Amino acid sequence: MNRRQRLMQAVSDRTNPIVVKELRQAVQSRLVIAILLLFLLTNVLVVSGFLLLTIDATTNERGGQDLFDGLFVVLVSTCMVFVPLYAAIRLTMERNDSNIDLLFITTIAPAAIIRGKFWAAVALTALIYSASMPYLTITYLLRGIDLPSIFFALGVAFLCTAIVTMLAIFVGSIAGGLLLRILVFGGLLWLGGCMMAYTLMIGLSVVEMGLASIFSRRDGWGAFGISVAFGITAWGLFYLLAVAAISARSSNRMFPVRVFVTACWLIFGVIAGVCTLAYSSEWPVLIWSVASIALLSLILGFTLAERENWTPRVRRYIPRSTPLRFLAWLFYTGSAGGVVWCCALSAATLLGGYQVVGEFTPVVGRSPAKDVFEVMTGVLLFAWCYSMSGLLVRRLIFPKSVPLAGTTLGLALMGVCGTLPLLLSYLIRGPNWRFDSLPVIFAVFNPLVLQRPAADRTEVLVLLSVWGIFGLVVNIPWFLHQWHAFRRHEPKPIPLAPSLVMEPPVIHV
């Protein structure tokens, strides 16, 4: 074996096996070949159409810009639609075939599987980019476009494709029923569409106005920084969620997600605090609080669906000391600990947010920021009250059901309790009835009640707090049971010298 072969062998050995497999399959896939040919044909049509139909193509001041716009739309559409869909569908098919199970008996980790899928999709994107390069070069030969703008637009599109691809991989990794898949797929299309619109807007406007239009201003750098930070956070969250989705049910799969969410919450909170002080405005903290409460309210409901007991594979990593055990209980996979973790972050967000907003609120009168905070408190209380109510109903009526039933029952209760008083009121008062005229005691079950004036809202928050405390008290045994069950498992030692001698069969019953 010569030096080059040895080098190639070393590279091959160090490459993620999933990347090797995915790329081997991609080059043999008729779909990939068809899409690439279609992409090249569309590029040829765009360039030749532009050159043939534009009389002054070479002298036009905007010639390069116009051609780039056309090619950029083709490139972004192909990369942001085909690549994520291809990655998601392939993973979904593997999940359905239950072949992915076989990967778990190898030494490859779920994280490596997701990384492999992602890098294979990145390689496919790079292939599409390289196919597009000859045509994009033509735009530079024409007038009205500069090289940094081209690279910036292409870079933004590449990063956005990477984020949407990770989102698609997460969707593909979910093992669930058809309804869940349709719902999540709908979400993917919506988010992917938003990302595509954002990419096109940024790319086309940069080419139109030049890079200086963004980076010559301080707020331009700020917006760029925030976009990059959100992009990286979204990518990281989808990556960890995808890893959690394909990890074995018995594993501690939510631990990395909770650590990541906590770290992001803390980092963005500090940045928002610094910005609030620097700009003397409560809005950075307000935006951080609203985003945190919205996300945590959503997480609270889904946390209820997590497991309520732990197998030795998780329990062997539980610390022995009580303070560390409590910390582990909050962060390890598990419903009760997860609910407490979620509530701790939410409470800290509200307390910190109220503290900062209080500094900027006039002593007399109200501020819009305070109104927003009250609404967010209400949203969180609604999530808590319905989660605890769903949990109580499950514990009392369906004690043998899976934990997901608690989340489902909570949502069902919200649907029923939110609409039933309104229907009754409609039947009693007739078509002239209005939601605002309904007494708070009846409207309090519907989250839309938070839109009411501030005086009503205070009453609503008090009622929700009473309901929330009731929910907590009746479910305390559930929390305590899980806390007591969360104890370390001491693994048996591995024999030092495994027997290698073949022995006659020893049969015991």
Partner 1 sequence: MDVKVDNLKRHFGGTKAVDGISFTFSSGHIFGFVGPNGAGKTTTMRILATLDEPTDGDATVDGVSVVDYPEKARHLVGFMPDTLPTHRDMTVHEYLDFFARAYGLRGLKRDSLVERVEEFTSLSRIRGKFLKDLSKGMKQRVSLARALVHDPPVLVLDEPAAGLDPRARIELRELLKVLAEQGKAILVSSHILTELSEICNGAVIIEQGRLLRAGGMDHIVSSDSLDRTVVIRCDGPAEELHRELIQTPLVREARMIGAAVEADVTGGDDVCGELLRYLIFKQLRIVEFHQRRVDLEDVFMTVTKGQVQ
State the residues that interact with partner 1 by CB under 8 A.
9, 13, 17, 20-21, 24-26, 28-29, 94, 97-99, 101-108, 248, 250, 311-313, 316, 400, 402, 489, 491-492, 494-495, 498-500, 502-509
The least CB distance from residue 402 to partner 1, in Å, is 7
- 16 DSSP 8-state letter: -
**Least distance in Å: CB of 41 to partner 1?**
23
**C-beta neighbour count of 139 within 10 angstroms:** 24
Q: Which is nearer to partner 1, 105 or 278 (CB)?
A: 105
- Contact status, residue 391 vs residue 475, Cβ threshold 8 Å: yes
Written as six digits, the tokens of 219 are: 């707020």
Nearer to partner 1, 108 or 111 (CB): 108
Helix, strand, coil percentages in the chain from 3-state DSSP, rounded to 5: 80, 0, 20
With b meaning 16 or more CB within 10 Å and e meaning fewer, what string describes 74-85? bbbebbbbbbbb
- Judged by CB, which is closer to partner 1: 208, or 308? 308
For the CB of residue 506, give the shortest distance to partner 1 in the complex, in Å.
6
**250 vs 419, beta carbon nearer partner 1:** 250
**Contact by Cβ (8 Å): 194, 177:** no
CB of residue 172 to partner 1, shortest distance in Å:
15
**Residue that the structure tokens 């959100």 belong to:** 230
Nearer to partner 1, 118 or 238 (CB): 118
Burial 10-31, CB ≥16 within 10 A → b, else e: eeeeeebebbeebbeebeeeee
Task: Using the minimum distance from each CB to partner 1, give the nearer residue, 395 or 452.
Answer: 395
Q: Which is nearer to partner 1, 362 or 493 (CB)?
A: 493
User: For residue 152, which of 77, 236, 68, 80 has the smallest C-alpha distance?
Assistant: 68
Q: How far apart are CA 55 and CA 78, in angstroms?
A: 29
Compute the least distance from the CB of residue 14 to partner 1, in Å.
Answer: 9
Cβ closest to partner 1, residue 100 vs residue 291: 100
HSE toward the beta carbon, residue 427, CA cutoff 13 A: 6
Among residues 310, 292, 293, the alpha carbon closest in space to that of 254 is found at 310
Handedness of CA 100, 101, 104, 105 (dihedral sign): negative
Q: Tokens for 312?
A: 């030795």
**Which residue, among 1, 78, 66, 76, has the nearest Cα to 35 in the 3D structure?**
78
CB 96 within 8 A of CB 172: no
Of the pair 205, 311, the CB lying nearest partner 1 is at: 311
Helix (H) or strand (E) holding 326: helix 322-331
**Closest approach of partner 1 to the CB of residue 507, in Å:** 5
**What is the closest distance, in whole angstroms, from the C-beta atom of residue 86 to partner 1 in the complex?**
12
- We find the least distance from the C-beta atom of residue 494 to partner 1, in angstroms, to be 6
Query: Which of these, 357, 404, 413, 356, lies nearest to 384 by C-alpha position?
Result: 413
Identity of the residue, 56 or 503, whose beta carbon is nearer to partner 1 in the bound complex: 503
Cβ at position 435, least distance to partner 1 in Å: 42
Closer residue to partner 1 in complex, CB, 36/290:
36
Residue 15 Cβ vs partner 1, minimum distance, rounded to whole Å:
8
CA distance 2 to 4: 6
Q: How far apart (Å, rounded) are the C-alpha atoms in residues 161 and 87?
A: 12
Q: How far is the CB of 484 from partner 1 (least distance, A)?
A: 18
- Placement of tokens 């979400």 in the chain: 187
Least distance in angstroms from the C-beta of 335 to partner 1: 16
> Distance between the two ends of the chain, CA-based, in angstroms?
54
Min dist. Cβ of residue 3 to partner 1 (A): 15
Q: Which is nearer to partner 1, 25 or 48 (CB)?
A: 25
DSSP string, 291-309: HHHHHHHHHHHHHTTS-SS
Nearer to partner 1 by C-beta: 428 or 500? 500
Q: What token pair was written down for 453?
A: 């004036």
**Contact indicator for 245, 169 with CB cutoff of 8 Å:** no
